[in-house]
Structures are given as C-alpha cells and as structure tokens.
C-alpha cells in the first residue's frame, strides 16, 4: 500500500516509516543478520541531510594516516562506494572492516536499527537538516533520476503534500530525526547528533568533534600542521563535485537501479529552499516542525 512516485512507486510502510521495497528487503535482512562490533562506526542520516558529506569527512578522518590528499580513494570513488549503505550492500562493509575501516552508513530509523547496533555499544553519528532544505534537495534528487529514466517526476506541490504527511523516503522526516535525537539525549557517549547547518557554519570544529567521538582524535601536532583543514578541503562540495568520478560516474545496484554520482551534488548550500518554496509552503513546514519537536528541546 502506498503512493506513486513515478518510477519510485509504491513506498511501503514498515515499522512506522515509508520505505522503497528494494530497500525494505535490505533492512529486514540487516535486522536479521547484521552483527555490529563495539568498534564499528555507523553513519546514520535522514535522506538529503548531508550523508555524502559526512561519509567523506569521517572516512578521510579515520584513514588520514593511511592516505594523503593525492592517494585517498575519495579522489576515485563516490563516498557511497567507499562507505556502503547497510540496507544496500553490507557485505562490502565486512571487507572494509577487515581492512581496518569500520565504517557503515544507513538511513534506517533508530527504532528499526538491527539490535546488535544498539547492544554492541558501537558509535553512531547522525546528521539531519532543516526539513525545508531536505525536502527541496529530495525533490530535485528524485526529479533528476526520473528525468534521466524518461519518467515524469511528481509535481512540486504533490511531493510537498506527501512529505508533509510523512510519505517520503524513510519518512515521516520528523519522526526519523526525533528517534535519533531522543536516543542521543539518553546515550550521549554513543550517539553524536549533528546538523548540516552547524557543520556548514564551522566544519573544522565538527570534524574535530567527530574525530574525538569516534576515537580517532587529532593530536596537537596534526592540528598545528593543518590536517583538519586539509580533510575539510578534500571533502568540500567544490572539491568533491568537481572530481571526474563525481561528474561522470554512476552509483547503485542492479536491484535499485543506478544513479549518476553528480545527482548527490546539487548546490550544497544552507537555505536554498528560498529559491523553491513559497512563503506559505515554508510556513507550513515550519509549523509541522514546531508541533512535532515541541517538548523535545531540539530545534531545526
């Protein structure tokens, strides 16, 4: 049961959230089989909140002694190929982990994470974003995919109405954010809760914070030598979006279909919703956000 999003039709509801069927299989299989270890680091996000960026920054941070700016795999692969999505290809994660890169990512809501992730005590880094910008980003992302497949994208207003009702990938958006927020308040040492806007404001500060949180802190020598600055530069929107691999490559699996890597890099700005949403639409989303987050001490 669900609504049609063109090619992305029939989202289905699973444990309170709207999932694409081909992701659902991966989620169920991860719930049944994924065995987390205490040293794993899981990068979690609500879609279009800066997942690609978080993957790049965290990967560059934890592999900084293995690679430099001219050897890092980030130059040759889209970050999603480097840090796999649990619900798409967690088998690749085991290979990475064996090589000492214990990084995995997921859009799965907190309440649906495999039990071993919660029980192992492994670190979770979550990123979210102003829902207005995430909605606009998601709308363009899906529209670009559909157009590239000669399919008709949903109109902005129809997509907006569905998003407000909670029917978007891994939506309701607010429930996703709140699930991780509440868990981060309960377990601050286990879950680091980040916002795209804060990260844009002072990326170096947050890279330092992520590094400390995941157990790879920067030494004062590294800080003096500009290592954090280099990681931020390497993972910047300008740098990543201009790499050949991200201009021309594709990402995906035969099951989910392939997406051009450049679809993950649109504008990379805070507040781009102003170019897309009417004042009424923005007010409607703000109103929902206020209602949903009331009493939570979180603001978006």
Judged by CB, which is closer to ligand A3P: 56, or 289?
56
Judged by CB, which is closer to ligand A3P: 69, or 119?
69
From candidates 94, 267, 274, 296, binder to ligand A3P by CB under 6 A: 267
| Residues 90, 28: Cα–Cα separation, whole Å | 12
Annotated catalytic residues are 107
Q: Minimal distance in Å, beta carbon 200 to ligand A3P?
A: 7
Using the contact rule CB under 6 A, the part of the chain among 158-166, 219-227, 265-273, 283-291 near ligand A3P is 265-273
Under rule CB under 6 A, how many of the chain's residues touch ligand A3P?
21
For residue 125, the 8-state DSSP code is E
Within 136-175, the residues that bind ligand A3P by CB under 6 A are: 137, 140
Q: Minimal distance in Å, beta carbon 204 to ligand A3P?
A: 13
User: Which has the closest alpha carbon to 18: 133, 121, 112?
Assistant: 112
Start-end of H helices in the chain: 21-33, 51-62, 79-82, 86-98, 115-120, 131-148, 156-164, 173-186, 196-201, 203-214, 220-224, 227-234, 237-241, 244-248, 279-293
| Residues 29, 27: Cα–Cα separation, whole Å | 5
Using the contact rule CB under 6 A, the part of the chain among 34-42, 44-52, 65-73, 87-95 near ligand A3P is 44-52
- Cα–Cα distance list, 164 to 37, 75, 292 (Å): 37, 37, 11
Only one residue has tokens 């609504």, namely: 3
- Cα–Cα distance list, 169 to 98, 139, 228 (Å): 31, 11, 33
Residue 246 interacts with ligand A3P (CB under 6 A): yes or no: no
From candidates 148, 236, 262, 284, binder to ligand A3P by CB under 6 A: 236
Angle separating helix axes 173-186 and 279-293, nearest 10 degrees: 40
Q: Minimal distance in Å, beta carbon 194 to ligand A3P?
A: 12
Residue 31 interacts with ligand A3P (CB under 6 A): yes or no: no
Residue 237 interacts with ligand A3P (CB under 6 A): yes or no: yes
Residue 25 interacts with ligand A3P (CB under 6 A): yes or no: no
| Residues 185, 134: Cα–Cα separation, whole Å | 23
Judged by CB, which is closer to ligand A3P: 48, or 176?
48
Judged by CB, which is closer to ligand A3P: 52, or 106?
52
Within 109-138, the residues that bind ligand A3P by CB under 6 A are: 133, 137
Query: Which token pair is 117?
Result: 């992730």
Residues that bind ligand A3P (CB under 6 A): 45, 47-53, 133, 137, 140, 235-237, 240, 264-268, 272
């Amino acid at each position: 049961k669900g609504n049609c999003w063109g090619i992305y039709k029939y989202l289905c509801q699973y444990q309170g959230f709207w999932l694409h069927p081909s992701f659902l299989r991966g989620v169920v299989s991860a719930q049944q089989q994924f065995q987390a270890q205490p040293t794993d680091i899981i990068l979690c996000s609500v879609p279009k909140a800066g997942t690609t960026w978080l993957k790049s920054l965290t990967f560059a941070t934890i592999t900084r002694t293995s690679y430099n700016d001219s050897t890092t795999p980030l130059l040759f692969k889209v970050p999603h190929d480097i840090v796999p999505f649990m619900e798409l290809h967690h088998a690749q994660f085991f290979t990475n982990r064996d090589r000492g890169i214990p990084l995995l990512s997921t859009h799965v809501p907190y309440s649906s994470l495999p039990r071993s992730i919660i029980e192992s005590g492994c670190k979770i880094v979550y990123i979210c974003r102003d829902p207005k910008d995430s909605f606009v980003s998601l709308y363009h992302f899906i529209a670009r995919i559909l157009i590239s497949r000669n399919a008709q994208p949903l109109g902005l207003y129809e997509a907006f109405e569905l998003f407000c009702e909670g029917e978007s990938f891994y939506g309701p958006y607010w429930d996703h954010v709140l699930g991780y927020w509440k868990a981060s308040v309960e377990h601050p040492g286990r879950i680091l809760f980040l916002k795209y806007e804060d990260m844009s404001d002072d990326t170096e500060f947050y890279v330092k914070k992520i590094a400390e949180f995941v157990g790879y802190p920067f030494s004062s020598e590294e800080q003096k030598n500009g290592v954090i600055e280099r990681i931020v530069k390497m993972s910047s929107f300008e740098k990543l979006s201009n790499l050949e691999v991200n201009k021309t490559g594709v990402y995906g699996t035969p099951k989910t279909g392939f997406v051009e890597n450049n679809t993950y890099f649109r504008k990379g700005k805070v507040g781009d919703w102003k170019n897309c949403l009417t004042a009424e639409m923005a007010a409607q989303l703000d109103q929902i956000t206020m209602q949903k987050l009331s009493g939570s001490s979180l603001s978006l």
